[in-house]
Homo-oligomer: A and B are copies of this chain.
Amino acid sequence: MEIVIRNAVREDMSSVLQLIKELAEFEKEPNAVEVTCNELEDAGFGDQKQFDCFVAEVEKKIVGMALLYFRFSTWKGRTVHLEDLIVTEKMRGKGVGQALYRRVLKFALDQGVKRVNWVVLDWNKPAIEFYERSGATILSNWWQVEMEEPALKAYIGN
């Protein structure tokens, strides 16, 4: 089975959105995806590029994707953040995820960043073990904090 990893183009965004939705359904949050195909096209390929994306193809069909962007660490400077790495369910366990993972890390190295970041769910033991085997460090003592728009509005008031 040949796996081709390439840079995503604007026309891939509908397939990419399908993968995003597939993952949200798997995580039992099918309604959490508010992003539209147009937004992905603008954000990835418009004047103000907000992310880079790779897709994985098998027999010319998109079966996986990785989406990343740059962040800025006040200790390390520019870093790469891997936001999502998704492989469609029936193609898992065939090396597609690992090929995407390698491509992202190679991209980061080529960009000269000192660090790549991402997050993992605490119950996802196979992923945690895979990341650790590859040389990544899990920081379980740094917790995510999020404030959504309604809470923002309530706090800031008018």
Contacts and interface: CB of A to CB of B under 8 A. Distances in A.
Interface of A: 20, 24, 32-35, 39, 43, 50-51, 67, 69-78, 81, 83-84, 102, 105-106, 108-109, 113-123, 128, 131, 134-149, 151-156
A102 to B, nearest CB: 7
Contact of A147 (B34, B136, B144, B146): B136
A34 B147 CA distance: 30
A152 B109 contact: yes
A20 B134 CA distance: 30
A39 B76 CA distance: 10
A109 B148 CA distance: 10
Given A43-B78, A139-B143, A148 B71 contact: no
A147 B109 CA distance: 11
A20 B118 contact: no
A140 B143 contact: yes
Contacts of A138: 143-145
B135 A117 contact: no
